[in-house]
Amino acid sequence: MMNLLVHAAGAWIAAEAASGRYPRPVAVGLAMLVSRLGAPTAAMTLMAFAFKRLNEAGAFDSVKRAPAPRRRALRGR
């Protein structure tokens, strides 16, 4: 379980660095650290980056979101 968490966190950091969130020197350092995690992280990074690009392009706009449940107003006694 911890292994999956480490790879998922590495993939998220790498996807954020690839999207331009961090300055170039920081992104290069992060990429060097994440590259040590190996193939599972690389695969998750590519999937996360592709998903992010699709989301930015509006590929998931047609998916309807569930309405938020309504809360009842609490009245003081």
CB atoms < 10 A from the CB of 13, how many?
Answer: 20
User: Which pTM was predicted?
Assistant: 0.49
38/30 Cα distance (integer angstroms): 14
Mark the ranges of the chain whose per-residue pLDDT is less than 50.
none
Q: What's residue 31's pLDDT?
A: 76
21/23 Cα distance (integer angstroms): 7
